[in-house]
Amino acid sequence: DIVVTQSPDSLAVSLGERATINCKSSQSVLFDSNNKNYLAWYQQKPGQPPKLLIYWASTRQSGVPDRFSGSGSGTEFTLTISSLQAEDVAVYYCQQYYNAPITFGQGTRLEI
Amino acid sequence: QVQLQESGPGLVKPSHTLSLTCTVSGGSISSDRYYWSWYRQLPGKGLEWIGYIYYRGSTNFNPSLRSRVSISEDTSRNQFSLNLRSVTTADTAVYYCARDHEGATDFWGQGTLVTVSS
């Protein structure tokens, strides 16, 4: 199984400041055939299902504010929220989709 | 807009079978473009992929659950279903059905809490 590890486990950021969450996979999730990283980011608020923010490591899902961005390739990835808003308080997960079993990081709790 | 809705018992006895159904609207589960998955989230914990079903009923499961899991589909009703056999209290979780596409899970059901208890 590909092990996905996030850091930090929790993070407190002031409103309007930048938040950065890291994700590392135990093996590369870059498919050579299409040059795509099979890595996605999700936001989950209490009592709600996860919401897809970023796929292919850096492609923003339709409707997601542009303050959310993803970067990285291979085994190391980053989710950045450029200017934190109150509604961004949530738990964030990264997910590898390179091969089965699909696996998630342990989550990062983002607070203000 | 695709919508998914889980349904099934919220309480299952130990050693029994957990059975859930996901009803999909706004898209066909017969499409060869998508995978239809089950995930779960243990109380206060992270997310675990259980397995998926895709084009013409092919399936793939998490090895950690493979011996106890099956997923089936009813294309006439646009539904797919999860069976998890021989449950224990460790299977108590919120269960989600979802659609997987283009390397990510883009639509999720609201989730249903299943408690395993006698």
Write out pLDDT tens, residues A37-86: 999 999 999 999 999 999 999 999 999 999 999 999 999 999 999 999 99
pLDDT of residue B12: 98
Q: Is B47's CB within 8 Å of A36's CB? A: no
Distance from the B88 Cα atom to the nearest Cα atom in chain A, whole angstroms: 22
CA A64 centroid distance within chain: 13
Supply A11's token pair: 């993070």
Are A101 and B52 in contact by the 8 Å Cβ rule? The answer is no
pLDDT band at residue B103, thresholds of 50, 70 and 90? confident
Residue type at A44 in one-letter notation: Q
Q: Is A101's CB within 8 Å of B49's CB? A: yes
Query: Is the C-alpha dihedral spanning B93, B98, B100, B103 positive or negative?
Result: negative
pLDDT of residue A79: 98
pLDDT of residue A70: 98
Are B6 and B96 in contact by the 8 Å Cβ rule? The answer is yes
Distance from the B96 Cα atom to the nearest Cα atom in chain A, whole angstroms: 8
Q: Report the C-alpha gap between A65 and B104 in whole angstroms.
A: 18
The answer to whether A40 contacts chain B (CB < 8 Å) is yes
Closest by CA position to A89, among listed A69, A108, A111:
A111
For A80, the enclosing helix (H) or strand (E) is strand A76-81
